Structure 1
Amino acid sequence: MKLGVIGGLLQGMEAIYLAKKAGYETLVIDRDEKAPAISLADSSEILDINLEKSKAKRILCDCDAVIPANENIETLISIDEIAREIDIDLLFDINAYNISSSKILSNKLMDELKVPIPKPWPECGFPVIVKPSGQSGSIGVRKAYSTEDVSSAVNTIHGMGDKEVIQEFADGPNISIEVIGDGTRAKSMILTEVVLDDKYDCKMVRCPMQNIDPDTLDSFSRYGESIAKALKLKGIMDVEAIYSKKGLKILEIDARIPSQTPAAILNATGVNLIKHLVEAVKGNLSGPQPADGSAIYEHLIFENGILRSCGEKVFAGVENPRIEYGLFGSSEMITDYEPGKDRWHATMITKGKMPEDTWDKRQKCIECILKENNIKQYLDPAPEVITLPA
């Protein structure tokens, strides 16, 4: 099995990582010869498929399946067209993506399906979250406490050429679940907890999440499947929510390969979402059969003499990463670390039988990094904490 991955940034790294763990041969295509997924893949091609479609077709004809790992709509359209022309399995649903990439359209769909989403402003009062409709992750996201804050955030979003979505600020742990569909049926996969930094960017994923009641988990799974069925999803979709005191609040959906959560799931449970996705597109959709285990997936950066946890956007600056097993006592690290370097990045993966064991191992890894590199300071930034009424 040979998988072609179009895009060499974080999504590409995730796809390559999972594919290699599944035993697949991997090829990455990117316009940038410094894209970090290139050093992880078995082979690579540097080209812009929008400008060199004939060459891209020749290269991809040697693959058994192709997965887009980018969010450039022109490139996604080109990949969809090429896959149809050369009759190759496409692990992506462009129609579902077109809806999920607009928070306005996806919120409308979820509202029609009676999925619980945050209340719109001004009905909800303050604080609120102001975010662009067409961006992913934490890009352009602002917390607002007043009409002046809202106006400022909206002006910024308009300056990006996007439209705003303004909703209540839902307080509680961020949770995520992937859903895989075959165009008719859909299966929810494994729940993870997404931990944010002070810029509301993901710095850590924990699997499994502790202290979530079974009824909430079941509801979240069913909401995800209902959305996927409404989209007629033939591919993979990530569903993100807040587990608040007032119940679940579904924040957004993204119908593309996610970064971070699948690697945490694989290390905790043995469930490989790329393998499930390949089988679903071939018509063999199945639910997960997780093994018992626990994993923590976390981004780190060392610079200016300080080690700190960081969001994925900061980690994206990693150069020529490689997988190191057992480095500093971790289970694995995806890193550009070298002894004596004044700036390096790492995704640290620790795993164990129980969450408590895994957390202890993680703590010891941090201590080992500090001691062996004579680092005096470690920072772990987190979002501002506010108290909301129950």
Structure 2
Amino acid sequence: MLLRDARRVGSDRRGDVVVAGGRVVAAGGEGPGIDLAGRWLLPGLVNALDVLDLSVFPPLGTPPFASLYDWGASLEADGGAALRAALAVPLADRLFLGGLRNLLAGATAVVHHHPYHRSLGRKDFPVRVLSRYQFADSPGRTQALRRTYRSSDRRIPWLVRAAEGTDDRARSELDALAAANVLRQNTVILHGTGLRPEDGARIAAARATVVWCPEADRRLYGTTTPVAALRAAGVRVGLGSDSPATGSRDALSNLAAARREGVLDDAGLLTLATAESGAVGRLPVGGLEEGSVADLVAVDDLERFLEGDRRAIALVLVAGRPVYGDPRLMAEAAIGGLELMVDGSPRRLAAPHAPRLRALLKTHPVVSEVTWLRGVRIA
């Protein structure tokens, strides 16, 4: 497939990109293809933290909370009806919708912080999902933390929610990881909201990494991870969305939330949300150079994209195949599917995702009520 007249970030160059076998095979080419007409062509976003099976959950709780434990206690008290309605949607369908939530946000690869399910590896799943990982909930909720880590393969990521909050309990959890001897090179600290700037040296020395979830942090805890200090200490940081239960819309809205924090310039933000998140999650990252994985996003307006506007996404390719985008561009690739309106703009969702979404919207009314689908309707 030929992607004609693509614009690259950080360059005045416009040119053609050829995709075959799921990879970029050359720059330039001839023949039919998709005319991007000068649109920006970027690597797909990599979402370094999601909980895909919570995709139909509403924002839960009445923040602010002192910690993950405080939030969890509030849900036990008043979240029953909402949780039951969401859990009535079958697991495989909730996972699919979690993948779709990422696709509509321009994310092509995801780290899932719950047990791996065979449906995540199907060829018709909307996005790539990390398949080899181990995880723990949080130090205060995980019995025998050291045993949990020791049962894992140290060559793959070990994901743990830690220091999620602002109280003393949250702030002590880095010490808990160190005391259990599980602050290691494959440890991925999720959130880390309560980390102190001086914690960066210890995390960097262990070669552990951190996933930043600015939108969820700000809603739930009123603050966020000290990313600038961590990065200055040499800690590798990725960007994640967490689930809709936190109040986070998706990966793209978290890119916008990260931008509002003023920690990085725009080029740095895009690198954070692609290459750096891929490194933290050990996931493939798209690119425009020959041999790169063809997980790509074409963008109408880079400024609107960085502001979190889903309407700026003109086309998404996963493994070189157009799966979502402007109907005119999808038609140029001879890709049929379901016509949608996304935040007021026409978009097309490729088969086999299209009939499944239609059926779920019809069968489970709760699906149409989730925050990330409120701006989406079948045209």
TM-score of the alignment, normalized to the shorter chain, above 0.5: no
Task: Give the TM-score normalised by structure 1.
Answer: 0.26
Structure with the greater relative contact order (CA < 8 A, sep ≥ 6): 1 or 2? 2
Task: Give the TM-score normalised by structure 2.
Answer: 0.27
Greater share of helix residues, 1 or 2? 2
